[in-house]
Structure 1
């Protein structure tokens, strides 16, 4: 499944940085889950038993099934992504729904439970949700009807419009009144005007676009090829490509974690029949490259705790029972491991 990277918000508005501390702006008291690490357990296909765990890395305390505990009902879906935006947490299930929860206690604030097919991720813009969705499969298991679903309320509701985009849209990110869409199957980045709710531009790129991220005041895109990976930056005044960095890293999966000192950790997998997995380490702003930084099998998710300088690696154990989380230091030395839920696939460091 997609889960690449669980982010602390995907909207980039540089001007807002100047006004982030407005006087007399009341602050919400911190809740139990406003700090620590959220672990996304995708769940098993057919069982739809995805859930979220919470880890306090200072004490090692792990709380399981926090959505079900807070709402007295199971999540009942396959978790694809978790996004923190607009002071809310959005739990995206590729089984066709989105749950919106309070970040502090995980109580439900709203949901989208109909008229979605295979949602992958979302962003908030102009008070609306823009949700990337593969659309339904055709008879050949293709996705010719992929779209961005528009919900005109940040706390959920009905799908008001579906904007057609290239096949298999993955990540989405906001900039001003615009949305950038990573079209993974056709190598396209589509730009949507959030007010008009329509595609206004398409940018061709190499590889399979996977993840947007923000660095040095720019929007970047991580894209994977069969034998290399690509890092693109964009001119945000006219939405054109600015820079392209290419690294010879084969078998990259699209899952990535952002470490300290501009170091990035890329999950790789040889796939069938070898099933050799690994972590490549690169620096986008420098020449450092280590395509074989760490190796193993069964890797499915990755995240980095910048405060402690620790890499979290999720292992599904073949979806035979619960998965395992392994914690590494910045030298690749194993520090500890612990059991997670079914199919752990990503992390949100809070």
Structure 2
């Protein structure tokens, strides 16, 4: 082979190697306009309005409001309570409208909706290949609360599970569904344990009054309860319950003061975070006592979410004008950015 031929062969080999390396180290392309970002649910006005979903890109360079309306040219409905995910699908729950809108989570194109079989729906989770959504039922009837079972292929409700008063947030693990019962417009102090193979409640666990958030970590279910507020006439303090998942019999309760009402339990790197009295507190998973000193002070929040070393705090302000979401670095405690969002921002979710 002459010199020109050798050079040509070497160049061709180089191109082939580069091509193979490019294939092996290919960069994941965005799956849609709203991939790689943060979704904020805004409840909206209780009557005469609609809830919305806002988007913030991961690098904070792009913000967009009311993305569902923009993509689908229709409204979500009154009081957007929450979003739950099933793979590439997002289930957006509108509480007062008794509706769940299903979209592609990255493009927000509508895939379907559920408008029958719901009665004051609240939160959605997936277990054993099925969807589950908590329902308060008729709030004047304390005995009609239930979990609706959703066929994830047809988006149809195919059954219900009766439960005690006020089912709210749920967590799923190993074909088990854990449901916190805050009590709807009343109060409750239960967690239901549901076997999603036979869709039956296997037991209920007593926790603090008005459980509001849960985490599963280190073989335990951690349940944070806010306690009964003073306006009910029988004020009780918050409780953090540590419940063994082996048999649910081993329970340790960390009790707050009677006038202390914590909320929004989050976890990051075996550190718990929760809100209390205009501040954020931090507690290591191995701690045997509640912290007495705030980790971050002077926080105005409606809800708080911990994710990937950051804290996302929503502020509903006066509940009549648009709110905001503020993002903090958990290690430095520094405020990174604050964004204006919609009316009564409640949940923060991640694509």
TM-score by length of 2: 0.78
Q: Quick check: 1:264 aligned with 2:272? A: yes
Aligned positions of 1:100-119 closer than 5 A: 100-119=102-121
Q: Judging changes above 3 Å, is the alpha-carbon distance between structure 1 residues 255 and 30 closer, same or farther for their aligned structure 2 residues? A: same
1:232 is matched with which residue? 242
Q: Which has the larger Rg?
A: 2
Contact kept? 2:215, 2:267, Cα under 8 Å: no
> Shift in Å at residue 342 of structure 1?
0.7
2:313 is matched with which residue? 313
1:82 is matched with which residue? 83
Query: How many residue pairs end up in the alignment?
Result: 308
Q: Judging changes above 3 Å, is the alpha-carbon distance between structure 1 residues 219 and 229 closer, same or farther for their aligned structure 2 residues? A: closer
1:169 is matched with which residue? 167
> Shift in Å at residue 33 of structure 1?
2.2
Q: Judging changes above 3 Å, is the alpha-carbon distance between structure 1 residues 155 and 232 closer, same or farther for their aligned structure 2 residues? A: farther
Aligned positions of 1:165-314 closer than 5 A: 165-185=163-183, 186-216=188-218, 218-225=220-227, 226-236=236-246, 238=247, 240-248=248-256, 250-259=259-268, 261-269=269-277, 277-286=278-287, 289-290=291-292, 292-296=294-298, 299-306=301-308, 309-314=309-314
Secondary structure of 2:318 counterpart? helix
Q: Which runs of 5+ in 2 are unaligned?
A: 1-27, 228-235
Secondary structure of 1:323 counterpart? strand
> Shift in Å at residue 167 of structure 1?
0.5
1-structure distance, mates of 2:59, 2:343: 24
1:10 is matched with which residue? none
1-structure distance, mates of 2:285, 2:238: 14
1-structure distance, mates of 2:72, 2:42: 17
Q: Which runs of 5+ in 1 are unaligned?
A: 1-26, 270-276
TM-score by length of 1: 0.78
Q: Judging changes above 3 Å, is the alpha-carbon distance between structure 1 residues 188 and 74 closer, same or farther for their aligned structure 2 residues? A: same
Secondary structure of 2:71 counterpart? helix
> Shift in Å at residue 219 of structure 1?
4.0
Q: Which has the higher contact order (CA 8 A, sep 6+)?
A: 1
